[in-house]
Structure 1
Amino acid sequence: MIMENKRGIGIVLTVVFLLLIPLIAMQFTNEVNWNQSDFVVAGVLLLGTGLICELVMRKVKKIDHRIILCTVILAALLLIWIELAVGLFGTPFAGS
């Protein structure tokens, strides 16, 4: 299903590329220290966000609504990512 269209392939390749960045950085510095669960969580967040935005692009007809929905989805990804990274809101998910 995902591989039936070019956007789906682009989403998967983008997620793989983004996950390669910390993997490569870990080879050169101790500042980046991800474990397997970090890669899984990041992969699920990125792939889920991409696929939800793809669903919005397919199902929502009005361009203005598409832009608003995708912006909200990306903002949610950003807030979740920040919370998991540094615990901005102090929830238990960040280990605070």
Structure 2
Amino acid sequence: FFANLFAEGWNWSPAGFIIAGTLLFGTAFFIDLVIRSKKALTYKLMICFAILLVLALVWIELAVGLFETPFAGS
């Protein structure tokens, strides 16, 4: 938020902050659900890795349009 106020070239809209917050808190929520489950540790680690991979791919797509989908940021 502060970079948006003081740095040139950093111009997130309010919708950008909402989307970023939703992605981050949603990721944390789902990882917490996985960690609290009664599954084996290996299974938990694989699921958490998959969740983090999805977060990274969605974030990258929204930021630079790597996959050129209609909701890309570029």
- Give TM-score scaled by structure 2 length: 0.92
Q: Which secondary structure does the structure 2 equivalent of 1:42 belong to? A: helix
Identity among equivalent positions (%) equals: 47
Structure 1 unaligned residues grouped into runs of 5+: 1-22
Q: 1:31 to 1:52 in 2, by over 3 A?
A: same
Match of 1:93 among 54, 66, 71: 71
Q: How many residues align?
A: 74
Comparing both structures, which one devotes a greater share of its residues to helix? 1
Q: 1:60 to 1:33 in 2, by over 3 A?
A: farther
Aligned to 1:37: 15
Q: Which runs of 4+ in 1 moved over 2 A?
A: none
How far residue 24 of structure 1 moved from its aligned partner, in angstroms, is: 1.3
Q: Which secondary structure does the structure 2 equivalent of 1:74 belong to? A: helix
- Give TM-score scaled by structure 1 length: 0.72
Structure 2 unaligned residues grouped into runs of 5+: none
Q: Which secondary structure does the structure 2 equivalent of 1:68 belong to? A: helix
